[in-house]
Amino acid sequence: MSVTTFSGPGLDSRVALARGAIEVDVSLTAEPGQVIGILGPNGGGKTTTVLALAGVLRLERGHVRVAGQLWADDTHHLEPEQRGVGLMLADSLLFPHLRALDNVAYGPRSRGVGRSAARARAHTELERVGLGDLAGARPAELSSGQQARVALARALATDPALLLLDEPLSALDPDTRARTRSDLATRLAAYRGVTVLVTHDPLDALTLADHLVFIEDGRVTQTGTPSEVLREPRSPYVGTVVGLNLYAAQGDSHGHVETADGGRIVTTSPTEGSVWATIPPTAVSLHAHEPEGSPRNTWRMRISSVTMQGQSARIGLVGDVPLTAEVTLESVAALGLRVGAEVWAAVKATEVRTYPR
């Protein structure tokens, strides 16, 4: 099976514009074949960035170059239909009266490809996402996951140099989402353009993206490979996404760490000066009484939240050092963990990691 290839560099862009109350200034670069995962809080500028790359929004400053072609700068602007871009949203937006084959063929047809050639290309794309046998089905006859795969096939049927996926799996139930995520990963592995994936789901980002970009308040706060971000988050939001307790702090050579809120933590891996300190939620043990023995970090805490996650629970704790603990459901029952209750939290110094800010 052949795949489309592109000459020249992949994506080289700086998106700078105001939209509502937010000023966005985001730079993105990628090589052909790379998947860039964009994460950030609501209203941070993720969708604005994607719409500017697509040509829906005009730049005020910056540039967009894709596959060696200038799409936009301060004075130049290609309209969306003039750009080699494919777009897939949370809502698949399939035409309900058209069969899957003609939904996918719509993209090539809209770009001047003849009916026969467009339908042949659509059938190829449906085969690539594992739906060749459902080419004659209408959207109402497809599951939500199958509709998402048809939307992906439609986005790729025009040979885009840039594929933009804005929350493509968010409307799916957990089981369908897992299966569709796997299908999406397989298809993207064979796509040689640049993919920009916007998501709120850390699992989507960590399993689909080669490189992660975090956008907060219109600015990039951290970039890196998934392993780099997991190892060293550099903002409270990123810490939440990767599931770590993260603190901006000051450290000394003796392993003492003082957080910005005045809390004190002890670590066996000291870093002097301005640091980030991390504690995995699984490293936090909870006790009805002050623990004895080896833990060098103990705090009296109040439970602020209890969230069940499968066979475990995440316990939000407030006190001198706010924490999230991850414990078994047996511990929840045995300790009577409920909102408002007081407990002792303990963390071994060996579980606290620090690195420069």
Domain end: 172, 205, 236, which one? 236
Residue that has been written with the tokens 């003849």 in this structure: 114
| Same domain membership, residue 31 and residue 62 | yes
Check: CB of residue 240 under 8 Å from CB of residue 323: no
Q: How far apart are CA 214 and CA 137, in angstroms?
A: 39
- Residue finishing a domain among 236, 251, 270: 236
Region of 328 on the Ramachandran plot (φ > 0 left; ψ -120 to 50 alpha; else beta): beta
Instruction: Give the chain's domain count.
Output: 2
Q: What angle do CA 152, 126, 124 make, to 5 degrees?
A: 115
User: Within its chain, how far is the Cα of 91 from the centroid?
Assistant: 18
Lowest mean pLDDT across 35-49, 203-217, 237-251, 283-297: 283-297
Q: Same domain, yes or no, for 33 and 134? A: yes
d(CA 26, CA 139): 36
What is the per-residue pLDDT across 255-295, written as a single tens digit (0 to 9) for each? 999 999 899 999 998 999 999 999 999 999 999 999 887 77
Has residue 188 been placed in a domain? yes
Total-model pTM: 0.85
For residue range 168-226, what is the model confidence (pLDDT) as tens digits? 888 888 888 888 899 889 989 999 999 999 998 888 998 999 999 999 999 999 999 99
The amino acid occupying position 212 is L
| Domain housing 20 | 11-236
Nearest to 279 by CA among 315, 246, 322, 306: 246
Q: Are strands 323-328 and 194-198 parallel, antiparallel or unpaired?
A: unpaired
Is residue 2, in this structure, part of any structural domain at all? no
How many angstroms separate the CA atoms of 125 and 164, rounded? Answer: 17
**What is the number of residues in the chain?**
357
Q: Last residue of some domain: 236, 261, 295?
A: 236
> Tell me, what DSSP letter sits at residue 140?
G
